[in-house]
């Protein structure tokens, strides 16, 4: 009994520590920015959040110590990124619990345009999200390549589709082949996991999508519209 109570207290303390890390608005902003899957310098995050470099270093130190961020150094430069896909999932799941109207309420025309672009298509750590992510997920499901009835799972035909399309599914660690990730703008799940990451990587490297602005927003190119129409039957109007 004593051991059980001690374990419960340890778990509660860990949960409280995690909650305190993400409860700060500046640190939460850093985590959301890093959902683009790239490594950022402290200076870039400071400018993004509009805070002083000294304040940024303190916040980043706490996030690294708490295991939410990983740190890489190249010469004099210090880069930080989300520690792994589990942290990205945690951040995205928490963001999904907040009303889109509250998280995306624009204060300027520039912010309105950025918010519209993010809702249209963006990266969620290493997979596609927004209307683009939902359109791809729905198309895969409609073609019988992805099942959603008992949780997300690629069918045999789906695995074959990835192979035939030239998108390798590299299985590493315990990460699932397919996983549902709740989209915080569409309020529906989009494809994550190994398959979601592979598809997003291919979309960016094959010039199906290009990043726009300094946020996570992506835009489907003409090449991408043609490829997604040919391979998944997605209408171009859905992607604009």
49-68 pLDDT, tens digit each:
889 988 999 999 999 999 99
27's CB contacts (< 8 A; 6+ apart) are 21, 59, 62, 63
Give mean pLDDT, residues 1-17. 67
Q: Is the dihedral of CA 227, 231, 233, 234 positive or negative?
A: negative
Domain ranges within the chain, ordered by starting residue? 2-83, 89-239
Tokens standing for 174?
Answer: 């315990």
Across the range 2-18, mean pLDDT stands at 69
Which class for 12: exposed (0-12), middle (13-18), buried (19 or more C-beta within 10 A)? exposed
Residue 109 has pLDDT above 60, yes or no: no
Q: Quick: pLDDT tens for 73-94.
A: 877 778 999 998 888 888 877 8
- Residue 215's pLDDT is 66
pLDDT attached to residue 13: 83
pLDDT (mean) for 104-129:
71
pTM for the full model?
0.72
Mean pLDDT taken over the chain = 86
**Confidence check: pLDDT of 147 > 60:** yes
Question: pLDDT per residue over 175-206, tens digit each?
Answer: 899 999 888 788 889 999 999 999 999 999 99
- CATH number attached to the domain at 2-83: 1.10.10.10
Q: What percent of the chain has pLDDT over 70?
A: 88
Burial class (CB in 10 A: 0-12, 13-18, 19+), 68: buried
DSSP letter for each residue of 128-180: EEHHHHHHHHHHHHHTTSEE-BTB-EE-HHHHHHHHHHT------TT--SSEE
Cβ atoms of 152 and 180 within 8 Å: the answer is: yes
CA 83, 126, 34, 21 torsion-angle sign: negative
Helix (H) or strand (E) run with residue 88 in it: helix 85-96
């Amino acid at each position: 009994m004593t051991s059980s109570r001690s374990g419960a207290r340890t778990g509660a303390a860990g949960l409280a520590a995690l909650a305190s890390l993400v409860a700060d608005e500046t640190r939460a902003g850093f985590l959301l920015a890093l959902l683009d899957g790239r490594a950022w310098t402290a200076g870039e995050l400071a400018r993004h959040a509009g805070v002083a470099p000294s304040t940024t270093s303190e916040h980043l130190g706490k996030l690294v110590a708490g295991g939410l961020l990983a740190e890489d150094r190249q010469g004099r430069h210090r880069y930080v990124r989300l520690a792994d896909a589990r942290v990205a999932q945690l951040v995205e799941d928490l963001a999904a619990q907040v009303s889109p109207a509250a998280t995306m309420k624009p204060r300027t025309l520039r912010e309105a345009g950025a918010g519209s672009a993010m809702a249209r298509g963006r990266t969620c750590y290493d997979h596609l999200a927004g209307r683009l992510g939902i359109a791809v997920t729905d198309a895969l499901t409609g073609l019988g390549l992805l099942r959603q009835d008992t949780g997300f799972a690629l069918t045999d035909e789906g695995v074959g589709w990835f192979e035939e399309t030239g998108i390798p599914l590299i299985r590493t660690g315990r990460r699932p082949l397919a996983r549902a990730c709740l989209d915080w703008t569409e309020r529906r799940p989009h494809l994550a996991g190994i398959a979601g990451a592979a598809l997003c990587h291919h979309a960016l490297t094959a010039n199906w999508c290009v990043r726009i602005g300094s946020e996570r927003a992506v835009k489907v190119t003409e090449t991408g519209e043609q490829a997604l129409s040919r391979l998944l039957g997605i209408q171009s109007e859905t992607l604009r």
